[in-house]
Amino acid sequence: MNTSPRPWWKDAVVYQIYPRSFMDSDGDGIGDLPGITARLDYLRDLGVDVIWLSPHFDSPNADNGYDIRDYRKVMAEFGTMADFDRLLAGIKARGMRLIIDLVVNHTSDEHAWFQESRKSRDNPWRDYYIWRDPAPGGGPPNNYTAFFGGPAWTFDEATGQYYLHYFAAKQPDLNWENPKVRAEVHDLMRFWLDKGVDGFRMDVIPFISKRAGLPDLVGEERRAPQFVYADGPRLHEFLAEMRREVLDHYDTLTVGEAFGVTPAQARDLVDSQRGELDMVINFDVVRMDAQGWRKVAWTLPRFKALWAELDDCGPFGWKSVFLSNHDNPRSVSHFGDDDPAWVERSAKTIATLILTQRGTPFLYQGEELGMTNFPFERLDQFDDLEVAGRWRDVAHRVSEAEYLESVRALARDNARTPMQWSSGPNGGFTTGRPWLAVNPNAAWLNAQDQAARADSVLAHCRDLIAWRRAQPDLLDGAYRDVDPDHAQIFAYRRGEGLLVVLNFGRETVRWPVPAGIAVRGLAYAPKGQTVVIENGVVALEGWTSAVLTVG
């Protein structure tokens, strides 16, 4: 029997900050650490427990900080180490915690290790990266493709070999087979933990172990190489070593970004008896309507089936719950209804889902306001290298209109437009020129307006976060979908005492409570939205959510 105390992160609500787009304090159009520090009261008032900060390290920004040049230095645009220390102190002073991004599948090609590594075949850092000779007939060593377009190999003239990169050519993959690389990673983790950070979100962590011999992708593997990249033979060993060497000596939260991981593999990664990760960020739901770059249809029954499948994270596992982040469209545009007449109700419904599923909820900046996708109209409006990179791959066989239609729905830049603090210039994000355009709906969709209204999305998130703390059934109760086939209602039990009912459409629905569940009353609903319980039927207005007590 497991007698250890319940870890703090099981009851926590996590809030992700993408620093580039959160708050600019110095007018250069780029968000920064002092900007975040200035907004800590906003986050405390919202009631979140943990902040996950996307990369804040020195970087040439080929991929907005996911290409790190120096792991021990703060990105100049974001401030200094003193600014980081002030931010961390401000977070602690408010009773919150901080986890940072650990991006160690790859570095920037401008990292000192790679600068050395590429110099010569016998350089002491050569084996920090993955170098291979050209294929016998010339060309890349195998047919691996990169997520940002083109092959996963780039030829380096100086030494006549190719280096491997699963992402951009400016993001060479580290060679985790080399014990020195692993020791370097452990060291840099200790550096930040000793400063007082409370853990890590680990970027594409399942990719660190490469398949032995790097054989070609075959058949279906070519369409979704992430499943091959995430399936290396030493992944579990490397994670257990990291736990032993580093994490066991601190009180941390570790959440692995599990791109390419199946639910079955995820169960191993989060099995606390194995000692690897505390939870993972699973892609099944957020990418359910994406085939590569192409947007395909999704349905509510399929959506529900995926939640049910993910809920099974094994007897010793735990999971994260999220519907958006900096790599995905805005949740209200993606799975809700971002029509101005419905956006607030719809965003509240989605927030209820996130805050009442079993697992640790992750809210992404602006989601607490119902921020929407940006009305992109042309390819040249996108900043993200992924949009141009994939376009280069497919332009010869796909029309620009067809590509744009998918990309405007799914592109990562939708989530990266600046936070909408007010209806003022640039949504109150900056006094300068924002690095990425502010969504024009900041005029009426912003934090200042919502903070003043008791029925706003922001107020709903705040109220529900506070309320859930005192609900053992929400924190730990078993999960059971009670009507998996309904096309508009998502309804699930939490523990013995609660039933959550969400209306995923505009029409009012009269939903008959399934036999065997006795509804006792309404425990929670967003302010100003009508829920009527009568004769075993729950009537919910369009895009309305309710938590009911059952017995």
What is the distance between the alpha carbons of residues 53 and 38, in angstroms, rounded to a whole number?
Answer: 15
Distant-in-sequence, close-in-space partners of 249: CB < 8 Å, separation ≥ 6? none
> Of 83, 231, 327, 367, which one interacts with ligand TEU (CB under 6 A)?
327
Residue 531 bridge partners (DSSP): 540
Nearer to ligand TEU, 271 or 327 (CB): 327
**In whole angstroms, what separates CA 454 from the centre of its chain?**
28
> Of 32, 63, 198, 413, which one interacts with ligand TEU (CB under 6 A)?
63
Q: Is 322 in the site for ligand TEU (CB under 6 A)?
A: no
Question: Could you tell me the CA-to-CA distances from 205 to 62, 233, 324, 523 in Å, in that order?
Answer: 20, 13, 19, 40
- What's the DSSP call for residue 14? E
SS3 461: helix
Q: Is 32 in the site for ligand TEU (CB under 6 A)?
A: no
Let me know the angle formed at the C-alpha of 412 by 407 and 414, rounded to the nearest 5 degrees: 80
SS3 212: coil
Catalytic residue chosen out of the listed positions 77, 231, 257, 271: 257
Distant-in-sequence, close-in-space partners of 506: CB < 8 Å, separation ≥ 6? 337, 342, 542, 543
Smallest distance from ligand TEU to CB 223, Å: 12
Residues 257-276 contacting ligand TEU, CB under 6 A: 257, 259
Q: Is 103 in the site for ligand TEU (CB under 6 A)?
A: yes
CA neighbor of 372 nearest in space, from 404, 324, 405: 324
Nearer to ligand TEU, 63 or 83 (CB): 63
Residues 106-165 contacting ligand TEU, CB under 6 A: 147
Smallest distance from ligand TEU to CB 427, Å: 22
Residue 382 bridge partners (DSSP): none
Determine contact, residues 51/98, Cβ cutoff 8 Å: yes
> Of 15, 66, 335, 342, which one interacts with ligand TEU (CB under 6 A)?
66
What is the distance between the alpha carbons of residues 471 and 455, in angstroms, rounded to a whole number?
Answer: 22
Smallest distance from ligand TEU to CB 63, Å: 5
Nearer to ligand TEU, 144 or 147 (CB): 147
Nearer to ligand TEU, 326 or 468 (CB): 326
Question: How large is the angle between the packed helices 400-410 and 385-394, nearest 10 degrees?
Answer: 150
What is the distance between the alpha carbons of residues 351 and 461, in angstroms, rounded to a whole number?
Answer: 7
Q: Is 167 in the site for ligand TEU (CB under 6 A)?
A: yes
Nearer to ligand TEU, 44 or 287 (CB): 287
Total interface residues for ligand TEU by CB under 6 A: 12
Nearer to ligand TEU, 416 or 462 (CB): 416
Determine contact, residues 31/56, Cβ cutoff 8 Å: no
Q: Is 100 in the site for ligand TEU (CB under 6 A)?
A: no
Q: Is 173 in the site for ligand TEU (CB under 6 A)?
A: no
Instruction: Give the contact letters, 416-455, x = binds to ligand TEU (CB under 6 A), - = no.
Output: ----------------------------------------
Q: Is 205 in the site for ligand TEU (CB under 6 A)?
A: no
Instruction: Give the contact letters, 376-405, x = binds to ligand TEU (CB under 6 A), - = no.
Output: ----------x-------------------
Here the tokens at position 194 are: 């000793």
257 is catalytic: yes
Nearer to ligand TEU, 111 or 358 (CB): 111
Distant-in-sequence, close-in-space partners of 204: CB < 8 Å, separation ≥ 6? 105, 166, 257, 259
- Catalytic residue IDs: 203, 257
Chain residues in the site for ligand TEU (CB under 6 A)? 63, 66, 103, 147, 167, 203-204, 257, 259, 326-327, 386
